[in-house]
């Protein structure tokens, strides 16, 4: 089950399944709920074979999955429910709102293959709004880890935290950003690079691209202050304000619509607390389509070259310090 | 150890149901909004559950882990639940008229965060049965012997999630679970027959693997017999199809769907209370 392979050499879904197994060994109350996508989310075979009595596959019934999870949570269990991102969030939005969040039920919801990583499945499966819609739900914590170490740390924290949490789970293998000592805290951003010219804010899948952009910009003489926000809600406003006050220029990038997600959260915060110029990168107000990630990065302008260009454009603007 | 209490006599139960109906009428009148029809149709069943020796519960220890759970999935009928819980000693009777008032724990639909003795937050229809399935599964996992009762409305049974939950509970043989269908024949826009006729309903639940008991939901002896039979069933969930009358107990509300979601005036309230004296 658990191997000596470094975590970052494993697919994220494998890390998800393995970590839940490790947590289940410590927490007798951890349960896994699936709606016929357990192989995709990585709990099958590792979790369902290790803990068959704590693995509930409800079939293709996502609404029932969320309700059953709420009932289990009320009885002291810690259910982790997973499905593809659109079916884990927008399809069951009212069930999560009323049965889980309104009732303050301790349910963990995991959306797999977020944003453009759903590429070959096309527009039906390419959910670009889950960060936005989950963020506006009271009581809900919203997380988007960027690598395997952060994912593992988020899952450990979720098992201890009493309350509803939504987590975006990337499926494939990702380049490491952190190391095994990584410790997660909600509402705390990770400072990946210091610079005084422009603040670059990213989350989840886009953080490794943002890091590459920041490194390449350094060679051009643009000093990027790079912050990764694993926690979209609560948002680390303090570090955001500190950086924005210094640079006066902020670029956000996310594997989501530019409306309402990380970019939206950053704009809301800065507009009220620390006004600065902001440029939001991501998918504009559009549906997805069958395409490669490279095609979509280019079409919508949020790949490495676009992040760099956005930072350069920002540099041509005067600093906004109010 | 929490034990089943002895129930009241049939006559005392009928009297108790009358008192509960009086509370319902008074609460909704005071609130100037609410749902009398579906509250009154469920009054006899709730009376039987809480006062007929059916539910294992203790008002002195409302969250006792061994208590039987009752979820009102048709959350708009919550006045009848608050009234029943007040009569049972969970809520001060004089708080009942704070229904739907600013700051009251007696929200317009059950809210667990505001009132923890609500087993689930309901009112967005179709969700309570799934929550009940989760609770019944937890009982099995913990080898606990409490039972979970979920009352669903007939209009509510048009929600797809009800059938997702029914399919799962039947397939997974979730016993310790009893669904009670308050079949009062009307939904907001008209009769079930007019809007979405889902008959034959007993056959549907049976086909999903449930044990079916069909009763007159206003006949106290029949209700108690059905709930006793439900307790004996193992290996499958139980669905009690309770034929009821919307607005039962108040002549001008009975079978009159205008009273689905309308508050009585002071005069109408007085008239209703006189009938329920």
In a domain? residue A31: yes
Strands A78-84 and A277-283: unpaired
Residues A143 and A225 in one domain: no
Residues A135 and A213 in one domain: no
Instruction: Find the CATH number of the domain harbouring B110.
Output: 3.40.50.970
* Arithmetic mean of pLDDT, A83-92: 98
Residues A114 and A205 in one domain: no
Higher pLDDT, A120 or A257: A257
In a domain? residue A177: no
* Of the candidates A191, A184, A193, the residue with the CA atom closest to the CA atom of residue A160: A184
Total domains, chain B: 1
In a domain? residue B3: no
Q: For A29-65, what is each residue's pLDDT tens digit?
A: 999 999 999 999 999 999 999 999 999 999 999 999 9
Instruction: Find the CATH number of the domain harbouring A57.
Output: 3.40.50.970
> How far, in Å, are A272, B122, B183, B199 from residue B74 at the CA level?
42, 7, 12, 19
Instruction: Find the CATH number of the domain harbouring A196.
Output: 3.40.50.920
Residues A119 and A249 in one domain: no
Total domains, chain A: 2
Residues in chain A closer than 8 A to B124 (CB atoms): 94, 97-98
Q: For A101-151, what is each residue's pLDDT tens digit?
A: 999 999 999 999 999 999 899 999 999 999 999 999 999 999 999 999 999
Q: Is the separation of the CB atoms in A100 and B120 below 8 Å? A: no
The values of phi and psi at residue B143, to 5°, are: 50, 40
Residue A88 has pLDDT above 60, yes or no: yes
Residue of chain B whose alpha carbon sits nearest to that of A98: B121
Q: For A15-28, what is each residue's pLDDT tens digit?
A: 999 999 999 999 99
In a domain? residue A175: no
Residues A35 and A105 in one domain: yes
Residue of chain B whose alpha carbon sits nearest to that of A60: B164
Domain limits for position B19: 10-275
Residues A236 and A157 in one domain: no
> How far, in Å, are A33, A59, A80, A83, A201 from residue A42 at the CA level?
12, 16, 12, 11, 29
Mean residue pLDDT across chain A: 96
Residues A45 and A154 in one domain: yes
> How far, in Å, are A192, B44, B89, B123 from residue B50 at the CA level?
60, 10, 11, 21
Query: What's the pLDDT at A2?
Result: 52
In a domain? residue B5: no
Residues A158 and A206 in one domain: no
* Of the candidates B241, B240, B259, the residue with the CA atom closest to the CA atom of residue B250: B259
Residues A103 and A154 in one domain: yes
Residues A210 and A142 in one domain: no
Q: A1: pLDDT confidence band, cut at 50, 70 and 90?
A: very low
3-state secondary structure of B246: coil
> How far, in Å, are A22, A28, A106, A145 from residue A167 at the CA level?
18, 22, 14, 8
Query: What's the pLDDT at B5?
Result: 77
Domain boundary among A137, A169, A201: A169
Domain limits for position A62: 7-169
In a domain? residue A183: no
Residues A212 and A271 in one domain: yes
Task: Answer yes or no: pTM beyond 0.90.
Answer: yes
Which of B134, B167, B176, B209 should we substitute to test contact with A (largest number of A Cβ atoms within 10 Å)? B134
ipTM of the complex: 0.96
In a domain? residue A322: no
From first to last of its 277 residues, chain B has per-residue pLDDT tens of: 687 778 999 999 999 999 999 999 999 999 999 999 999 999 999 999 999 999 999 999 999 999 999 999 999 999 999 999 999 999 999 999 999 999 999 999 999 999 999 999 999 999 999 999 999 999 999 999 999 999 999 999 999 999 999 999 999 999 999 999 999 999 999 999 999 999 999 999 999 999 999 999 999 999 999 999 999 999 999 999 999 999 999 999 999 999 999 999 999 999 999 999 9
The number of C-beta contacts closer than 8 angstroms across A and B is 103
Q: For A300-310, what is each residue's pLDDT tens digit?
A: 999 999 999 99
Instruction: Residue window 169-228, chain B: list those with CB within 8 Å of chain A.
Output: 171
Residues in chain B closer than 8 A to A102 (CB atoms): 111-113, 121
d(CA B206, CA B170): 9
Residues in chain B closer than 8 A to A67 (CB atoms): 127-131, 133-134, 161, 165
Interface membership of B127 toward A (CB under 8 Å): yes
In a domain? residue A149: yes
Residue A322 has pLDDT above 60, yes or no: no
Residues A199 and A134 in one domain: no
């Amino acid at each position: 089950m658990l191997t000596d392979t470094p975590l970052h050499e494993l697919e994220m879904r494998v890390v998800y399944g393995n970590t839940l197994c490790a947590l289940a060994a410590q927490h007798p109350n951890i349960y896994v709920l699936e709606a016929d996508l357990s192989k995709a989310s990585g709990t099958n075979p590792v979790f369902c074979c290790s803990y068959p009595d704590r693995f509930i596959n409800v079939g293709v019934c996502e609404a029932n999955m969320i309700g059953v999870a709420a009932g289990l949570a009320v009885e002291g269990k810690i259910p982790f429910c997973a499905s593809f991102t659109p079916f884990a969030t927008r399809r069951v939005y009212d069930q999560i709102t009323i049965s889980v969040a309104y009732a303050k039920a301790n349910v963990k919801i995991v959306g797999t293959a977020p944003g453009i990583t759903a590429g070959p499945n096309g527009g039906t499966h390419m959910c670009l709004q889950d960060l936005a819609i989950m963020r506006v739900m009271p009581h809900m914590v919203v997380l988007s880890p960027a690598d395997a170490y952060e994912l593992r740390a988020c899952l450990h924290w979720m098992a201890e935290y009493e309350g509803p949490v939504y987590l975006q789970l990337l499926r494939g293998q990702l380049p490491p950003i952190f190391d095994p000592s990584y410790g997660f805290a909600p509402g705390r951003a990770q400072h990946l690079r210091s610079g005084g010219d422009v603040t670059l804010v990213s989350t989840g899948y886009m953080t490794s691209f943002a890091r590459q952009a920041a490194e390449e910009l350094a060679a051009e003489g643009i000093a990027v202050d790079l912050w990764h926000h694993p926690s979209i809600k609560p948002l680390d406003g303090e570090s955001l304000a500190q950086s924005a006050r210094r640079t006066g220029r902020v670029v956000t990038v996310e594997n989501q619509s530019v409306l309402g997600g990380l970019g939206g959260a950053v704009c809301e915060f800065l507009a009220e607390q620390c006004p600065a110029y902001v440029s939001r990168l991501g998918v504009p107000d559009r549906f997805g389509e069958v395409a490669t990630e490279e095609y979509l990065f280019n079409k919508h302008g949020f790949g490495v070259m676009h992040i760099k260009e956005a930072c350069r454009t920002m540099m041509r603007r005067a600093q906004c310090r109010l | 150890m929490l034990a089943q209490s002895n129930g009241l006599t049939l006559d005392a139960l009928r009297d108790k149901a009358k008192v509960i109906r009086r509370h319902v009428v008074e609460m909704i009148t005071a609130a100037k909004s609410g749902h009398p029809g579906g509250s009154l149709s469920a009054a006899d069943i709730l009376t039987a559950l809480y006062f007929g020796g059916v539910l294992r519960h203790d008002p002195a220890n409302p969250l006792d882990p061994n208590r039987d759970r009752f979820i009102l999935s048709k959350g708009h009928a919550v006045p009848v639940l608050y009234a029943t819980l007040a009569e049972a000693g969970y809520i001060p009777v004089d708080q009942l008229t704070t229904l739907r008032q600013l700051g009251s724990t007696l929200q317009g639909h059950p809210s667990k965060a505001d009132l923890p003795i609500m087993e689930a937050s309901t009112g967005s229809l179709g969700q309570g049965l799934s929550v009940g399935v989760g609770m019944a599964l937890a009982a099995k996992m913990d080898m606990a012997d409490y039972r979970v009762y979920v009352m669903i409305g007939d209009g509510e049974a048009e929600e797809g999630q009800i059938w997702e939950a029914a399919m799962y509970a039947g397939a997974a043989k979730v016993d310790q679970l009893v669904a009670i269908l308050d079949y009062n024949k009307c939904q907001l826009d008209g009769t079930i027959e007019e809007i979405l006729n889902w008959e034959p309903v007993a056959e549907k639940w049976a086909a999903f693997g449930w044990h079916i008991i069909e009763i007159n939901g206003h006949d106290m002896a029949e209700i108690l017999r059905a709930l006793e039979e439900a307790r004996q069933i193992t290996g499958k969930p139980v669905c009690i199809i309770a034929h009821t009358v919307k607005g039962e107990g108040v002549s001008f509300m009975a079978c009159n769907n205008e009273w689905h979601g309308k508050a009585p005036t002071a005069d109408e309230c007085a008239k209703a209370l006189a009938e329920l004296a």
